[in-house]
Amino acid sequence: MLKVAVVRFPGSNCDEDALRAAEAVGCEAFYVWHRETSLKGADVALLPGGFSYGDYLRSGAIARFSPVMQAVSEHARAGGAVVGVCNGFQILCEAHLLPGALMRNAGLSFVSKPVDLVVERTDTVFTSAFTKGARVRVPVAHGEGRFVADPATLAMLEGEGRVVVRYAPAGAGVEANPNGSVNDIAGIANEAGNVVGLMPHPERCMDERLGSAEGRPFFESIAAIAAGARK
Amino acid sequence: MTYRVHVRVMPRGGLLDPQGQAVEHALSALGFEGANEVRVGKAIELSVAAGSRDEAEARARQMCDRLLANPVTEDYLVQVEED
């Protein structure tokens, strides 16, 4: 059974949702405290949302130096799956496991609402269960989700197809991207596709009884790693 | 020797600074005419034990590069004075 480590930092608050989401798709999921120095044999490191270290200094800036991040980095470098959602994405950027940074939303407000996404890359550990171009509605909940990168990095991300999910273009019934992210970027991957970060929260829409199960394919992608389904 | 280090971290020029914009609007609403191009950053102060002012500055710059500033989005300025 695929093992998923949900990495808990002081201030994580989507950790239980993430754990249950992983369990819901048949994974064995357990918490790893940020003071730990190993991922305890996990196949996947999942960095959940929240406000690690109170977002002091910058979101993710202090969490990235937690002891467990050394193990997360080594896991990523060895080709292991690492997924960051919201604050987890911010931590992965601060840790330089993903390029760019996440800044204060352009509108200044904390945004908490469902948004429409387009899945652009489907050969990553978090999106293999989608078909390319799939539309999915998933909630965001963040104050600092405006993705920025210098022009050279942005050109590289676009040129290499490393934008995994993008906020859908504004149109009938669809609002413009919620935070001012450059190129409507909602999530990106590293070069190999084994490290993925995104601002939206698929773990919050895993069950029709709670309103939506549109987030399930993200976690089904993780579960599929066991079967070697990653393309 | 102990040196007092003042670090100023600012959002990089050219990047949208919504906090600066909001403060600018608020100043305008309060009747402060002609307050433009407001940008909001952070000031960090610390004491550093070092053998010389240059060493203190070099250590402070290392701290900025690793933690205090994000090289993707921020620029920093370091000032050192004898404590």
What's the token pair of residue A132?
Answer: 């390319």
pTM of the model: 0.94
Contact residues of B toward A, CB < 8 A: 11, 15-16, 18-19, 22, 67-68, 70, 72-73
Q: Which residue of B has its CA nearest to A104?
A: B18
User: φ, ψ for residue A167 (rounded to 5)?
Assistant: -65, 135
CA geometry: angle A66, A90, A175, nearest 5 deg = 160
User: Is this complex scored with an ipTM above 0.85?
Assistant: yes
Nearest to B16 among A93, A94, A106 (CB): A106
Q: Which amino acid is at B14?
A: G
Contact A57 B68 (CB under 8 A): yes
Cβ within 8 Å of residue A152, ≥6 positions away: none
CA dihedral A221, A223, A229, A230 (to 10 degrees): 50
How much is the average pLDDT of B50-63?
97
pLDDT at A230 over 50: no
Between CA A109 and CA A86 the distance in angstroms is 16
Residue A148: list chain B partners with CB under 8 A. 15, 72-73
Contact A37, A75 (CB under 8 A): no
pLDDT at A227 over 80: no
* Mean pLDDT for chain A overall: 95
Contact A101 B72 (CB under 8 A): yes
Cβ within 8 Å of residue A125, ≥6 positions away: A44, A81, A82, A83, A193, A194, A196, A221, A222, A225, A230
Between CA A7 and CA A96 the distance in angstroms is 17
How much is the average pLDDT of B32-52?
95
How much is the average pLDDT of A164-187?
94
Catalytic residues of A: 86, 201, 203
